Structure 1
Amino acid sequence: MQATRRSFFKTAMSLGVASSAYPLLTACSAEGEAATGAAKTMDLQADPNGLLDLPPGFTYTQLSVAGEVMDDGLHVPTSHDGMTTFPIEGDADRCLLIRNHEMSADDQDEGPFAGMTSVSDDIRDKAYDIDANGLPLPAGTTTLVFNMKTQQIEKSWMSLVGTIRNCSGGITPWGSWLTCEETLQKADDNISKDHGYVFEVPSSARGLVKAEPLKAMGRFNHEATATDPRTGIVYQTEDAHDSLIYRFLPEAKGELHKGGRLQVLALKDRPRADTRNWYNPGTYRMGERWAVEWLDIDGIDAPDNDLRLRGHAKGAALFARGEGMCLAVEKTGNAIYFACTSGGEAECGQIWKYTPGDFEGTSDEASAPGMLTLVVESTNASEMEMCDNIVASPWGDLVVCEDGPDDEFVRGVTPEGRIYTIARNAHPDQAEFAGACFAPDGETLFVNTQGPHATYAIRGPWAKIARA
């Protein structure tokens, strides 16, 4: 049974968050059940403009292309990446998009300060880091006001500056965006601070926020987060070939700046498990479930980039390039889905599901541990190639952005593990998709491409996609 719009909005609103953040996956199969093979897919129609190929009846609007001048006078940076939406209280026609930009310290010519030799004291004071020429580092986040009726951007500005390689992140139940630095770059002749942290951007901010790293959440190649509204626990992925999955237990729910405890995921009775299926194919099969335990880890600032190595030595499980992560509300409770870009025997990608236990994060959690399930393991590139950003959809499936060497697609994945196609990047650059998320009304799907560097708003008969 597919999620109805009524149940979708009721569930999301009861959590007090943006409706696009925590959709209801009502079509979920029973634990242990899985299916393989591609689902029926509507044929894509070639785009005469050479940008996006979409199914019949679907249209797109290209938005906020890199280099455009925003309302704050700064340029739209390149490398659009992770993204989310928030409703605007009292305004049913508009929503906010907060978007990452995955830029390096030496990308100033393509950043918000392109052509500038200095910035205002306010920008300098709010930036996390400044380069040797006195300019804030070019990555960070942009915030855009989107009109859902006209499908146009009405206002845009930089909301975080001075960071680098802001890749993905995640929404929080208290109305903010966690933006993650996918880097371990240390201070050098050009930059003054170490990087590799999570930063928080409140959706209520209508300008630049002061960039303050949440150091207690660890320093590693951060990719994405998912926050469980029931517990306030933040789950995190790491982009490395031998990555771990992390859990942050905050001292105060909803107040991450007050600190907390970092832990790593291990499989109960399988210390140092290798879930990648590279060297022992078939060890971890779709639909099987494994009990989880969480291990404390110290030295979380990791100046030697050894956090994952020490975590694995303690017993943590290995994953193949943990990237996209999202929370979905299911009939049986909340679930965390995450993508492992190069996982599986074919190295084409895996999607995992973590179901928190009834006593998650408490001293009693061993009596009802969280469970880990392999939902998808792609067997070839034509089925799904290198899954990256993911989001739960209003109709009960996952929407997945690809980041592979061949054609780039946006895929759908049913709760039973079947894969189908939603869009193709038709631009000659064939760059990755990123940042998939839905408008609060559930009618518009936003995605980014990193060639061209732009955001797209896609609309169409989603009910047909759901029945494909």
Structure 2
Amino acid sequence: MPIGLSRRAFLRTTAIAGGTAAFTGGLWQQAFAGPAQPGVGPYGPLQAPDANGIQLPAGFTSRVIARSMQRVPGTRYTWHPAPDGGACFPDGDGWIYVSNSEVPVVGGASAVRFDASGNIVDAYRILNLTTLNCAGGATPWGTWLSCEEYAFGIVYETYPQGGRPAVQRPAMGRFKHEAAACDPVRKVVYLTEDERDGCFYRFRPKVWGDLSEGVLEVLVGSGTGPVTWRKVPNPRLWTTPTRDQVPGAMRFNGGEGCYYTGGVCYFTTKGDGRVWAYDAEAETLDLAYDDDLVTEGEPPLTGVDNITGASSGDLYVAEDGGNMEINMITPDGVVTPFLRVLGHDESEITGPAFSPDGTRLYFSSQRGRSGFIGGTDGYTYEITGPFRR
């Protein structure tokens, strides 16, 4: 790095000079030259905060659907502390939103069931007595993968409709799991690892739809561009952590959210403020966003964390810290705030997920207004409005 030039300034200069790669697949086939840049979003500016303290674009509304340590409205079920990763699943004429609990020993996951009109009709537990359940991912066969975030953490396959016990999936590796995303074309599950020198993995089940057996692989490469995969020798029981078992494994600074769509797996790394784009067909890696590569003004998206997407191709990235926003990254390469939660300064936004019809967005403020690390003041919200579809 040149003397007297900050890392951000140096990277901005490199980007302007054409030093970053254009994207090659999925949403990025329209090929803007480099990572997303700030701009005006499709919904316009954020309005004054509503009664829940949330700033939204015109035409959107919010409601609180659950509070940690309080009964979910209309049910006798007490919502869990520290709500984290989440997903939605169709359920007859309605749908179900599931949410992890990122606390030790009693973490697990819960579910809220909605009818066709969006009324809450039930809430219940789907996973018990697990620890630090952070994020996860939905499967094409309708289960929720709940991931434990500690050194020997495991993936649990759970059933959103309830009535069936969750199942451990140790073949998917024991490490500090964060999120998962299924690729039904290549029949693999991508996995992130929340370590400062973590890795990006994929699990190839022996039989698609059955996660009890398979091969865990780690991404190998030297940066953006072509990458390959290599088998992790000992994913279940190890004395050498999975991330250190394969020479040349690519390192990522704090793997967080993971979302697959249209041949591309997007995943975030909080340590360097990046959203990565892995083109599964071309087997190449690029950057969809980097807060150090914002070329004008301050980056609108910082503290990248959970990520999801809409059928329109828009990505929605939640902030852990930052200024408590969910930012959009549009297919034409614009990054812009979609919502901002006020008064929750010591919290983080978690669990963004769309209802199956794309008309409602769910998310949580993990520690709420109090910021208490135990998450007993968590809030879970629903946003309704004219989402692009």
* TM band (smaller chain): 0.7 to 0.9
The residue matched to 2:251 in structure 1 has which SS?
coil
Residue 393 (str. 1) matches residue 310 (str. 2): yes
Q: Say which one has the larger Rg.
A: 1
Q: Which residue of 1 aligns with 2:286?
A: 373
CA distance in structure 2 between the partners assigned to 1:85 and 1:220 by the alignment: 25
State the shift of 1:35 in Å. 5.1
Gaps of 5+ in 2: 1-24, 369-377
The percentage of counterpart residues that share the same residue type is 31
Picking from 291, 306, 327, the partner of 1:411 is 327
Q: Which residue of 2 aligns with 1:155?
A: 122
Picking from 200, 203, 206, the partner of 2:162 is 206
CA distance in structure 2 between the partners assigned to 1:178 and 1:231 by the alignment: 18
Q: Which residue of 1 aligns with 2:153?
A: 196
Gaps of 5+ in 1: 1-24, 106-137, 185-194, 268-272, 276-283, 285-289, 344-348, 358-368
CA distance in structure 1 between the partners assigned to 2:344 and 2:88 by the alignment: 29
State the shift of 1:382 in Å. 4.0
Asked if the contact 1:64/1:153 (under 8 Å) is kept, the reply is no
The residue matched to 2:227 in structure 1 has which SS?
strand
The residue matched to 2:219 in structure 1 has which SS?
strand
* TM-score normalised per structure 2: 0.83
Residue 383 (str. 1) matches residue 300 (str. 2): yes
Picking from 266, 269, 279, the partner of 1:355 is 279
Picking from 64, 79, 82, the partner of 2:82 is 79
The residue matched to 2:129 in structure 1 has which SS?
strand
Q: 1:211 to 1:36 in 2, by over 3 A?
A: closer
Q: Which residue of 2 aligns with 1:454?
A: 379
The one-letter code of the counterpart of 1:104 is: P
State the shift of 1:77 in Å. 1.0
Asked if the contact 2:159/2:165 (under 8 Å) is kept, the reply is no
Q: Which residue of 2 aligns with 1:296?
A: 231
The residue matched to 2:171 in structure 1 has which SS?
helix
CA distance in structure 2 between the partners assigned to 1:350 and 1:183 by the alignment: 22
CA distance in structure 2 between the partners assigned to 1:298 and 1:72 by the alignment: 47
Residue 432 (str. 1) matches residue 348 (str. 2): yes
Q: Which residue of 1 aligns with 2:250?
A: 317
Q: Which residue of 2 aligns with 1:232?
A: 187
Q: Which residue of 2 aligns with 1:126?
A: none
* TM-score normalised per structure 1: 0.70
The residue matched to 2:150 in structure 1 has which SS?
coil
The one-letter code of the counterpart of 1:342 is: G
The residue matched to 2:245 in structure 1 has which SS?
helix
The residue matched to 2:167 in structure 1 has which SS?
coil
The one-letter code of the counterpart of 1:53 is: Q
Q: 1:69 to 1:200 in 2, by over 3 A?
A: same
- Deviation digits for residues 45-87 of structure 1, max 9, x if unmatched? 2325353111122101101211123699552111111111111
The one-letter code of the counterpart of 1:233 is: V
- What is the number of residues matched between the two proteins? 349
Picking from 259, 270, 275, the partner of 1:341 is 270
Asked if the contact 2:26/2:264 (under 8 Å) is kept, the reply is no
Q: Which residue of 2 aligns with 1:170?
A: 137
The one-letter code of the counterpart of 1:461 is: P
State the shift of 1:306 in Å. 2.2
